[in-house]
Amino acid sequence: MKGNLKSYPMNFGYRMPAEWEKHAATWLTWPHNVETWPDILTSVEKEMVSIVAALSKSEIVRVNVLNQAHEEHVFDLLHNRVVPGTIIFHQLPTNDSWCRDYGAIFLTRDDYEEPIASLNFQYNAWGGKYLPYNLDQGVAGFMAKILLVPEFVSEMYLEGGAVDVNGVGALITTEECLLQRNPEISCIQIEQRLKNAFGVTQVIWLGKGLEGDDTDGHVDQLARFVSQNRVVISSEKNTKDFNYIPLMQNRERLMNARLPDGGSIEIVELPMPDPVYYQNRRLPASYANFYIANKLVLVPAFGCPQDTAAREIISECFVDRDVISVDCRSILVGLGAVHCLTQQVPWTG
């Protein structure tokens, strides 16, 4: 089946599974853009090695690289650090490394012949902020072809980090991001398109994102489902901090929201890290940018006391997984962290 979002995935029984549901693999793009990480790409690669080494203990890791020479370089970095046989390389040229945002978003359904499909939204580097992005625009389609799965193509602009789901009908996103990305479409129209695409019945709208976030408020920096009715949210206690009011307002929206079954959402607060700056610019550091793998959860660390508290809070939400802090201080200079770099491929066995 080859379709577009006019033949809605929801109509074929597809849904986006929650991130904690079983994965067949994690897909990522190896960092390579020196403009994203000026003078610190070597440090970024060291952090990436630690992330991939941890993931390899949990599942297969598919890695996009530029070419044969780049594959050999990355192979040398990972040699003796990963579980043998867990890394699959794809020579797939990219402009940058944020696979969560430009990569395919995978859906599942109860169907023996076509249990998995991909969503391919329009991508313009977060509103045309960074040129070029032509190579990144083709990644989602290539991922679908590599896995030989049906692809639904949308005319709407959306990045993977802009949405989060609980797997049973609810999706969280932000007005700041999706309304800016699609100014010609009303909020009501966007909501219906989200329902049709992701197989959900309830869209929960938050407001604004973090200071310094070039994504215009991606929800994976703000609020994440950790179970069907529980959400962890970023919370700032310093009333003088720029993020205090927007995060408080997002919390109030979640408190008033209802799930498809009419139930309320259990809210768990995550502390914000100390403000992080690079070249006098505040970076969007957030512990909500964690990634849930099959056997573990990777939580970004920023070298401040709140690292431990955040890991402990997330550990209480995932008692069946090891929760590991991964240093993301260099990666953060590129304005993202571990969740921005990764994309889950659902298990369909």
Give catalytic status of residue 340 as yes or no.
yes
pLDDT digits (tens, 9 = 90+) for 234-281: 999 999 999 999 999 999 999 999 999 999 999 999 999 999 999 999
- Per DSSP, what are the bridge partners of residue 28? 63, 342
What is the spatial distance between Cα 326 and Cα 324, in angstroms, rounded to a whole number?
6
CA dihedral 238, 283, 323, 339 (to 10 degrees): 130
Per-chain mean pLDDT for the chain? 96
Q: How confident is the model at residue 18 (pLDDT cuts 50, 70, 90)?
A: very high
Cβ count within 10 A of residue 112: 6
pLDDT at 211 over 90: yes
CB 164 within 8 A of CB 224: yes
CB contact at 8 A, 282 and 211: yes
Cβ pair 256, 183 in contact under 8 A: no
Residue 7: pLDDT band with limits 50, 70, 90: confident
In the predicted structure, residue 4 carries a pLDDT above the cut 70: no
Cα gap 179→204, rounded to integer Å: 14
Mean pLDDT of 172-182: 98
Beta bridge partners of 163: none
Percentage above 70 pLDDT, the chain: 98
Residue 193 reports pLDDT greater than 60: yes
pLDDT digits 0-9 by tens, 110-140: 988 899 999 999 999 999 999 999 999 999 9
| pLDDT at residue 1, as a whole number | 44
Quickly state the pLDDT bin for 33 (edges 50, 70, 90): very high
Predicted local distance difference test score (pLDDT) of residue 6 = 58
pLDDT at 349 (0 to 100)? 74
> What integer is the mean pLDDT of 196-216?
98
Give me the mean pLDDT over the 139-159 stretch: 97
Rounded-to-integer distance, Cα 26 and Cα 341, Å: 10
How far apart, in whole angstroms, are the C-alpha atoms of residue 346 and residue 151? 15
Sign, CA torsion 314/315/319/322: positive
At residue 112, the pLDDT reads 81
* 26 residue type, one letter: T
Sign of the CA dihedral running 200, 181, 123, 297:
negative
Domains of the chain: 3-346 (3.75.10.10)
The residue type found at 320 is D
Given the residues 99, 317, 328, 340, select the one marked as catalytic: 340
User: Would you place residue 5 in the very low, low, confident or very high pLDDT band (cuts 50, 70, 90)?
Assistant: low
* Residues contacting residue 291 through CB under 8 Å, at least 6 positions apart: 19, 26, 297, 298, 338, 339, 342
**Of 139, 125, 133, 138, the residue nearest 95 (C-alpha):** 133
The pLDDT of residue 201 is: 98
